[in-house]
Amino acid sequence: MRLVIARCSVDYAGKLTAHLPMAPRLILIKSDGSVSVHADDRAYKPLNWMNPPCSLREEPFEEEGAVARWTVTHGKSGERLILTIQEVLHDTSHELGIDPGLRKDGVEAHLQELLAEHITTLGDGWTMIRREFPTAIGPVDILCRDAASATVAIEIKRRGEIDGVEQLTRYLELLNRDPHLAPVRGIFAAQEIRPQARVLAADRGIDCVTLDYDALRGIEHEGTLF
């Protein structure tokens, strides 16, 4: 990963256009080829970004008080991010290695196991492909097929937050590049799902399912319908 702090402006050229005026910003260039531009707020969400596959070209640029121009071009769509660099304040690279992936707590792991065993909880005719389906960025909790034989990726959490939806979004982006699986839709499943996560999931075309841990284990409570 390369981490750059620079005073820069950013222009996006694609289906739409957007402009960020000159200001100090954090630029992350990851080993997967992605480039994202961040401000010192907004939590993890970048101001602008380019997902892989993309290429970065750096060249001198001596207009408008700038010293360099970086052009990030998407390999398929041809969309571009153009960063006009006025001053580089920090530039360093780090080798992070292979990430071991997220380790789930006991409840999440058991929820995954139970749902895999009772996949028809999601609907008649649903079938398993496998648990912990491997991808380049970590395993998908459950990969299965619905009654229409469409591929479905399921991410399971004990408590459903926005970051879980983002995680599933990244998995879906990768899985949908595989012609043997695509199209792949997503289900975000948890014992409790925060309203903000539901809104983001709906915006991404991801379904939300609330899991009843006791019901999956076959424990019924008086006065409760399953």
Domain with 172, as residue range(s), is: 106-216
Confidence (pLDDT) at 95: 87
- Looking at residue 177, which CATH number applies to its domain? 3.40.1350.10
The reply to whether 224 falls in a domain is no
The reply to whether 28 falls in a domain is yes
CA 119 from chain center: how many Å? 24
Place of tokens 């043997």: 180
* Same domain? 49 vs 85: yes
Interatomic CA distance for residues 187 and 184, integer angstroms: 10
* Same domain? 87 vs 27: yes
The reply to whether 98 falls in a domain is no
* Same domain? 68 vs 129: no
Interatomic CA distance for residues 16 and 30, integer angstroms: 25
Q: Are 142 and 168 in contact (CB under 8 A)?
A: no
CA distance readout (Å), 185 to 153, 174, 176, 188? 6, 12, 9, 10
* Same domain? 88 vs 110: no
Confidence (pLDDT) at 213: 76
Interatomic CA distance for residues 19 and 34, integer angstroms: 19
* Same domain? 80 vs 125: no
Confidence (pLDDT) at 224: 38
Confidence (pLDDT) at 106: 53
Confidence (pLDDT) at 226: 34
* Same domain? 130 vs 203: yes
Confidence (pLDDT) at 178: 93
Alpha helix stretches (DSSP H) within the chain: 106-117, 162-175, 195-203, 213-216
* Same domain? 88 vs 125: no
Confidence (pLDDT) at 78: 92
* Same domain? 67 vs 156: no
What's the number of domains the chain is made of? 2
Interatomic CA distance for residues 147 and 181, integer angstroms: 15
pTM over 0.85: no
DSSP single-letter state for residue 137? T
Q: What is the mean pLDDT, run by run of 10 residues, along the chain of 226 residues?
A: 95 90 95 91 86 92 92 92 96 82 64 90 94 92 96 94 95 94 96 94 95 74 38
Confidence (pLDDT) at 61: 94
Place of tokens 């969400």: 45
SS3 content of the chain, % helix, strand, coil (to 5): 20, 45, 40
